[in-house]
Amino acid sequence: MSDPSQQPVNPLPAASTSEFLLTFAIILLAIVLLFGFDTALVRIDRAATSATALQEYKRGQSFFAAGKLDEAIDHFRSAATLDRDHSVYTVSLAQAMLAQGRPAVAEQLLRPVLERDANDPQANFELARVLVAEGRPDEAKSYYRVAIVGKWQGPDAERNRTAARYELINLLAQSGDKEDLLSQLLPLQDEAQSDSARRRIAHLFITAGAPGRASEMYRAILRQNPRDAEAYVGLADATLATGNFNAARDQLDAALKVAPDDSVIKARIALTDSVIAMDPGQRGLAIDEQLRRSKALVQRTIAAARKCLDVESSEVSEALDSVTRGLVASAASVPRPQAIEENLSIAGTIWRMRGTRCASQNQPGEEALRLIQEKIAQ
Amino acid sequence: MPRRKLPHVPKRIVELVEDLRRKEDRLALALSLVIGALVGLVVVAFIIITGRLAALLYPPGGLGWRRLAIPIVGSLIAGFLLYRYFPLARGSGIPQTRAAVFIHDGRISLRSAIGKFIVTAFTLASGIALGREGPATYIGAGLASSIGRRLRLSKNQVKWLLPVGAAAALSAAFNTPIAAVLFTLEEIMGDLHAPVLGSVVLASATAWMVLHLVLGDNPLFQVAGYHLVSPAELLIYALLGVVGGFVAVAFVKLLLWLRERFLRFPAKTLWLQPVAGGITVGVLGLFIPQVLGVGYDQVERVLNGDMILKTVMLLAAAKIIATAMSYASGNAGGIFGPSLFIGAMVGAAVGGVAHLAFPASTAGPGAYALVGMGAAFAGIVRAPLTSVIMIFEVTRDYSIIVPLMIANLIAFYISYKLQHETVYESLALQDGLHLPAGAFRARAGLWVDAALRDPPQPLTPEMKVDEATMRIGDSDLESWPVVDEKGLVGMVRVNDVVDAATGSQRPVTIATIMKRGRALVRDGSAEFPHVHSDQPLGLALARMGDTGHNALPVVSRKNAREMVGIITLVDVLRAYGVDTTRMTPARGSPVVES
């Protein structure tokens, strides 16, 4: 305790043993009393702070609901600063920041929350949204998954979990990740209660490449409510996806009977009619008509591919012309049934090539072509 | 203290206590533990009471007039309490703790410590823009001192208990046990190898454990992990070090300049002076509420990048003014916390500009705010090692450590070049206290007091050279102390006196000789050459070489004009074990051996 270079030997303390004992007893008593005092003080402080934080949070929520983001942020921030134990305050602050168009700040707020508890479902959910807003959907998926399986608290637990699942599903649908999408949809199939939810899930099954499941769900809806025009349209979409265009047309006719003025149904009918008119695989067609339709399909596919590939490179476009001319010429020199097959094969090859390069550039007018290509692919 | 009987205490306990009393190492261990626990609990209470009081004074949704009125009224009440009851509780507490260690034999009264607790809690709660760490350090040291004195330990032992209490307090106040140890050794003791290291570590750890036991495991700031986006970013961090260094110097100079002005006011205005700080904070707080109080919530915001460039620049400037005025006017509170606030804002400003210019190759402003905190702290407090470790402990983020070290060292260097004394040294100097500078202690070194001798009968400035020559007589001293009615005024060379006595311009006074000689003094850091008894002999030698005096006065740290002895070159050499028998007897110069 002493500096040996300055004072080599310290004298014994002048206090006697009894004074020593008394002093230490007083100190220990003070420690015990202070510990009790501090503990009580902390309890009082936490109770008061938590109450104020909750008040601030509620104010923030009402401002947020009213679209007053600046005020909401101020109150959420105050709540988050006052009470760090409730991550919901910080998550709400991040949510408001995101709504204000400041995803980077929202991410900064959420990361420490997740460092404390990596399984916090709300923080994961919000960070996933932030990452989507920042254009990082692949990173967002894992946070959505944690949010879906996380332990949500409160009465809205299931609603939040489902919301997280739907957002992930939408993300997967946009990115064309069909297997993942299907795995997320399957648990929802039986959970969905309302017709609108079931219709939505059924529609997503089509996107996930499971039109059969979609059909089942639509039929179940129609069994309960045969006058549900939307379900008829959905069923028709699912049937279109299976390549059964004529059956889809019949289902759309049924829908039109329920809702004769519905423009969506009419547009779908027009689409289906054009698909039926283009489809080389329609039953009852003469071999010449099948050949003509297969050639037309090749031309349409090339045109669709060029629309996308021209954007990227003229060299690729020229190469595409050269290859398809050669293929069409060779198909012309073989018997018609074989020519039809080869044309369909060419069209399929070009479509797939286009698909890998131009997945994000589907043109609105190419819906019919897409349906026929999907049928050929099946 | 009268001796008491111990009628009902078991014999075993009495033996244990007696053992403790007799064995210094065990006593040190026991005291480190109890001081750590006690100080930790007191500081926790201090933090919570301050926070609760602030919450009562500034309820959420409170009206704007509170931000103007409360700091003014608060500083008025605090000013009165400081003036009337607790005069030693003014200011930070760190210079006062150092003064207690190096000047007052470790004495800090319990009354001062309690006063510091009450007045600082009230001051900070009222929104005055100062920090809690310095006062907490003083409170901790005060408790340790009181315990030491109650046990009637030797002065030296009580003196060494102060850093133990200070480290415990800082550890609990800032939730940084390692930085608390380093700060205590680096800044308070000025010696990273101080013999109290073990006790300081133990007390710091104990206080930290108490803090966690009571308040739980939460870092001071919740910050996302940052990392270096590109190696080129290091240049921007270096630039931040430069900016941080200049801002630190500007802040320290402003604070010292303002304080110098306040010190010139009559003593009877002392009770009113803190109101100047209250008015400054109140007016600024009315328009910029974030400037009120310690401001750690704002620091956390900026660390998370949640502030725009304009705001951080405004807050940096406002906080510099508010803190400098609050401190200079004599309010109770420290500059430890405000240094971090200013640094965070400056860092965010530099980072914000950098991120606007190079968004792809720089981190967000939050990362720069983090580094800025360390840079400003290193520049203002000039404890670079503490600064690096503290930022690491505060944020628990290791990834930013290299940029932090670069910025810290640059800020430290700039501050050192532009402001020779540290802020705590300068504040003590303003109070007339000569505290040791920086890491002045050498391990196992020899100290001035080992070679100290009684001073000769001094000369006076008015004395004629004939009289002076008679007084000097045949002494072997080469320089002679000169005193006036207020104390020591300097040293005069005996040769100069003898020359003047034999010259043609007689009668000449000692003052005239000193006036001529003063121009030759190369050490501009002091008015006259001197050393203190607790300084190394090596420093005395260096100072003799610098000034050309072979004898130096040894003066009190409390009052540099109070001469406690004298030290000569021969004495120094003797203390080092040099054979001084082959010295010239007349003036103590060594003989050059052929």
Give the helix/strand (H/E) hosting B119: helix B110-125
B557-571 pLDDT per residue, tens: 878 888 888 888 888
Show the tokens assigned to B240. 């931040």
pLDDT tens over chain A, length 378 residues: 434 334 444 556 666 777 778 888 899 999 999 999 999 999 998 899 899 899 999 999 999 999 899 999 989 988 988 888 888 999 999 999 999 898 988 998 898 888 888 889 999 999 999 999 988 888 898 899 999 888 888 888 888 888 888 888 888 888 777 788 888 888 777 777 777 888 888 888 888 888 888 888 888 888 888 888 888 888 988 888 888 888 888 888 888 888 888 888 888 888 888 888 888 877 788 888 888 888 888 888 887 777 776 555 666 667 667 766 666 666 666 777 888 888 888 888 888 777 666 655 556 567 788 888 878 777
Taking an 8 Å cut-off on Cβ atoms, the answer to whether A13 and B152 are in contact is yes
Give just the sign of the alpha carbon dihedral B73, B75, B79, B81: positive
Residue A111 touches chain B, beta carbons under 8 Å: yes
Chain B residue numbers with beta carbons less than 8 Å from the beta carbon of A107 are 224
| pLDDT of the residue at A310 | 59
The SS3 call for residue B292 is coil
User: Which residues 22-51 on chain A approach chain B with CB closer than 8 angstroms?
Assistant: 22-24, 27-28, 30-31, 34-35, 37-39, 41-42, 44-45, 48-49
* pLDDT grade for B496, boundaries at 50, 70 and 90: confident
Strands B487-493 and B551-555: unpaired
Residues B82-92: what's their mean pLDDT? 87
Cα B202 to chain centroid, rounded: 22
- Going by the DSSP 8-state scheme, the letter that residue B480 receives in this structure is E
In the predicted model, what is the mean pLDDT of chain B? 84
Residues from chain B that touch A16, judged by Cβ atoms under 8 A, are 1, 3-4
R_g of chain A computed on alpha carbons: 34
Q: Pairing between strand B531-532 and B551-555?
A: parallel
Q: Is A219 within 8 Å of A247 (Cβ atoms)?
A: no
Which residues of chain A from 336 to 365 reach within 8 Å of chain B, CB to CB? none
Q: Which residues of B486-516 are buried (b: 16+ CB within 10 A; e: fewer)?
A: eebbbbbbbebbeebbeeeeeebbbbebbee
3-state secondary structure (DSSP) of residue B425: helix
Query: What sign does the CA torsion over A124, A127, A129, A132 have?
Result: negative
Nearest chain B Cα to A8, which residue?
B156
- The residue type at B309: L
Task: Provide the phi-psi class of A67: left if phi over 0, else alpha when psi is between -120 and 50, else beta.
Answer: left
Q: Identify each DSSP E strand in B515-582 by its residue range.
A: 531-532, 551-555, 563-568
Phi and psi angles of residue B483, each rounded to the nearest 5 degrees, phi first: -130, 150
Two structure tokens written together for B431 = 């109070």
Contact B381, B424 (CB under 8 A): yes
In this structure, which amino acid lies at residue B584? T
Candidates B323, B325, B356; CA nearest to B340 is B323
User: Which tokens sit at B212?
Assistant: 């966690």
Question: What is A261-300 written as a DSSP string?
Answer: T-HHHHHHHHHHHHHHHH-TT-TT--HHHHHHHHHHHHHH
Q: In angstroms, what CA-CA distances link A167 with A86, A93, A161, A201, A337?
A: 24, 20, 10, 12, 47
Which of B182, B180, B191, B88 minimizes the C-alpha distance to B142?
Answer: B88
Query: In Å, how far is A61's CA from the nearest CA of chain B?
Result: 16
Cβ–Cβ < 8 Å for A362, A317: no
Q: What is the pLDDT of residue B300?
A: 87
Which three-class secondary structure state does DSSP give residue B532? Answer: strand
Give the rounded distance of the alpha carbon of B559 from its chain centre.
18
- Alpha helices per DSSP H over chain A: 17-65, 69-82, 87-99, 103-116, 121-133, 137-149, 157-175, 178-191, 195-207, 211-224, 229-242, 245-258, 263-278, 287-312, 314-332, 336-357, 367-377
Judge: B34–A31 Cβ closer than 8 Å, yes or no.
yes
For position B125, what pLDDT does the model report? 93
Using the Cα atoms of residue A133, residue A139, residue A141 and residue A147 in order, give the sign of their dihedral: negative
- The tokens 């005020």 sit on which residue? A71
B241/A211 Cα distance (integer angstroms):
63
Q: Which amino acid is at B18?
A: E
pLDDT value for B156: 82
> Could you tell me the CA-to-CA distances from B577 to A196, B571, B574, B581, B586 in Å, in that order?
99, 10, 5, 11, 21
Distance between CA B332 and CA B134 in Å, rounded?
9
pLDDT of residue A364: 58
HSE on the CB side for B463, CA within 13 Å?
Answer: 24
Rounded Cα distance between B139 and B50, Å, is 14
* Whole-angstrom distance, CA of residue A327 vs CA of residue A324: 5
A325-334, B10-19, B385-394: the lowest-pLDDT one? A325-334
B538 Cβ neighbours under 8 A, 6+ residues apart? B442, B445, B446
From the CA of A184, how many Å to the nearest CA of chain B? Answer: 31
Token digits of residue B251? 């802040």
Main-chain dihedrals φ then ψ at residue B259, nearest 5 degrees:
-65, -40
How large a percentage of chain B has pLDDT more than 90?
Answer: 35
Higher local confidence (pLDDT), B168 or B364: B168
The length of chain A, given as a count of residues: 378
Residues of B in contact with A104 (CB under 8 A): 305, 364
Q: Check: CB of residue B75 under 8 Å from CB of residue B113.
A: no
Q: List chain B residues with CB under 8 Å of A35.
A: 41, 210, 214
Residues of chain A neighbouring B156 (CB-CB closer than 8 A): 2-3, 6-7, 10
Supply φ then ψ for residue B492, to 5 degrees. Answer: -120, 140
Contact pairs from chain A to chain B, CB under 8 Å: 165
Q: Which residues of B touch A55 (CB under 8 A)?
A: 60
What would the pLDDT profile of B199-258 be if each residue is shown by its tens digit? 899 999 999 999 999 988 777 787 777 777 888 889 999 999 999 999 999 999 999 999
CA distance B395 to B84: 41
Is A83 touching B (CB cutoff 8 A)?
no
Closest CA–CA distance from residue A43 to any residue of chain B (Å) = 10
Strand, coil or helix: A59:
helix
- Taking residue A55's Cβ as centre, other Cβ atoms within 10 Å add up to 16
Tokens of B188: 């308070």
Q: How far apart are CA B537 and CA B545, in angstroms?
A: 12
Other C-beta atoms closer than 10 Å to the C-beta of A52 total: 17
The CA distance from A214 to A176, in Å, is: 17
B144: closest CA of chain A, how far (Å): 11
pLDDT average, residue stretch B332-351: 93
Query: Residue B587's pLDDT band (boundaries 50, 70, 90)?
Result: very low
How close is the nearest chain B Cα to the Cα of A48, in Å? 9
CA distance A105 to chain B (A): 6
The pLDDT confidence band at residue B525, using thresholds 50, 70 and 90, is very low
Ordered DSSP codes for B8-75:
TS-HHHHHHHHHHHH-HHHHHHHHHHHHHHHHHHHHHHHHHHHHHHHHHHS-TT--THHHHHHHHHHH
B437 vs A20, which has greater pLDDT?
A20
CA torsion through residues B451, B454, B459, B461, sign? positive
Helix (H, G, I), strand (E, B) or coil at B463: coil
Which one-letter amino acid corresponds to residue B343? G
pLDDT confidence band for B344 (50 / 70 / 90):
very high
Q: Residue A1 has what pLDDT?
A: 42
Comparing B475 with B358, the larger pLDDT belongs to B358
- Residue B113 and residue B139 in contact, taking contact as beta carbons nearer than 8 Å: yes
Contact at 8 Å (CB) between B494 and B568?
no
Distance CA B261, CA A197 (A): 75
Instruction: Nearest by CB to A34, from B41, B147, B447: name it.
Output: B41
Report the pLDDT value the prediction gives residue B437, as an integer from 0 to 100.
64
Percent of chain B with pLDDT over 70: 90
Q: Chain A residue closest to B52 (CA)?
A: A45
Taking CB atoms and an 8 Å cutoff, what residues of chain A touch B444?
5
d(CA B170, CA B135): 9
Pair B333, B123: CB distance under 8 Å: yes
- At A128 the pLDDT is 93
Out of B75-89, B149-163, B425-439, B524-538, pick the least confident: B524-538
Q: Return the pLDDT at B251.
A: 95
